[in-house]
């Protein structure tokens, strides 16, 4: 790429023959774009995870124009239910013999405060806790696969906090701080999770077996301003003002199929990520590595969030199949 900051997925993704990917939130928007390009470039198997069966069926039908959909394995997962997420994660772990890329793309956008069936803020559960559990369950397979990738789909919203989270308790998480701050907090959470994963690589003998200079290469991405159904969540949260705001910015938003999926695809497929390597970084459109916010660099915050995540998952699910780091 040189310094051009350009990555055209139609031309720049290498041949993916023999590679296996898992993409969350793959049935619509940016996730669908990611899946389409992975299939287009010949991946061996694509596990497409989505919330609703009907959306998965629509996605599978639409993907026929990009490649052989017998390679696509649609899986329904409800990230607002940790027990159902756990069942899907364990089933995947039992089926996979390799995993070249896990793209944690699913997410709730700017929206009203809700609690999940597990009694947790839905933004944090969907965007952080549930996908952390999926990543941890599949981590051994990522470690087993050379040049594998773990990609967190974050956002520039991680910079837009109106409060200062400490990530110390469920009580704090289950406080309605407003639609945009809820989203921003969860996007910061994804940055902090990515950075703590990477930090563990510098700690010899860490419980996860992560090793410096070895895959999986772990990065977070920002898709840019993209037209997705998340704008409808903003309208629900803010009513008329939200509708006017979305109307004002929509002309400047990118198409998720063409441009919105580029940073995640770069992180998941580009040879440069493994050869340089690009690891523990934040990638913005198309393939530029940039700094995260001050809060995103806060190691105390990242440790707090990791501990809280482990506590919540253990309390909700009981015994975890993978080692905990801070408990």
Q: Which positions are catalytic?
A: 183, 187
**Nearest one of 47, 7, 25, 16 to 266, comparing CA atoms:** 7
Residues 6+ apart with CB under 8 A from 9: 37, 261, 262, 265
Report the greatest alpha carbon distance in the chain. 54
Which residue do the tokens 């774009």 mark? 33
Name the DSSP letter for residue 125.
Answer: I
Residues 6+ apart with CB under 8 A from 235: 242, 243, 246
Chain centroid, CA 155 distance in Å: 10
Cα 267 from Cα 149, distance rounded (Å):
7
Cα 311 from Cα 227, distance rounded (Å):
35
**Nearest one of 254, 246, 269 to 222, comparing CA atoms:** 254
Do 72 and 35 form a contact (C-beta atoms < 8 A)?
Answer: yes
Radius of gyration of the chain (CA): 18
CA distances from 147 to 105, 275, 291, 310, 320 (A): 20, 9, 24, 27, 26
Do 283 and 229 form a contact (C-beta atoms < 8 A)?
Answer: no
């Amino acid at each position: 790429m040189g310094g051009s900051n350009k990555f055209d997925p139609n031309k720049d993704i290498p041949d993916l023959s023999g590679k296996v990917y898992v993409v969350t939130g793959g049935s619509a928007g940016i996730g669908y774009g990611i899946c389409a390009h992975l299939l287009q470039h010949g991946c061996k198997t694509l596990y497409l995870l989505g919330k609703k069966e009907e959306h998965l069926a629509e996605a599978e039908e639409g993907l026929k124009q990009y490649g052989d959909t017998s390679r696509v394995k649609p899986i329904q997962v409800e990230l607002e239910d940790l027990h159902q997420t756990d069942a899907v994660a364990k089933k995947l772990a039992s089926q996979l013999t390799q995993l070249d890329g896990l793209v944690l793309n699913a997410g709730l956008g700017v929206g009203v405060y809700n609690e999940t069936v597990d009694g947790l803020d839905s933004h944090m559960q969907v965007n952080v806790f549930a996908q952390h559990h999926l990543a941890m369950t599949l981590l051994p397979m990522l470690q087993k696969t050379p040049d594998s990738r773990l990609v967190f789909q974050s956002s520039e919203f991680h910079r837009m906090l109106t409060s200062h989270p400490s990530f110390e308790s469920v009580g704090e998480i289950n406080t309605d701080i407003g639609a945009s701050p809820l989203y921003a907090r969860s996007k910061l959470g994804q940055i902090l999770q990515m950075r703590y994963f990477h930090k563990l690589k510098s700690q010899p003998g860490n419980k996860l077996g992560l090793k410096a200079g070895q895959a999986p290469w772990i990065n977070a991405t920002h898709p840019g301003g993209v037209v997705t159904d998340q704008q409808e969540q903003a309208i629900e949260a803010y009513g008329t003002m939200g509708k006017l705001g979305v109307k004002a910015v929509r002309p400047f938003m990118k198409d998720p199929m063409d441009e919105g999926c580029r940073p995640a695809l770069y992180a998941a497929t580009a040879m440069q990520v493994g050869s340089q390597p690009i690891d523990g970084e934040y990638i913005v459109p198309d393939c530029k590595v940039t700094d995260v916010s001050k809060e995103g660099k806060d190691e105390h915050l990242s440790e707090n969030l990791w501990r809280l995540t482990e506590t919540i998952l253990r309390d909700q699910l009981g015994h975890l199949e993978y080692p905990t780091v801070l408990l």
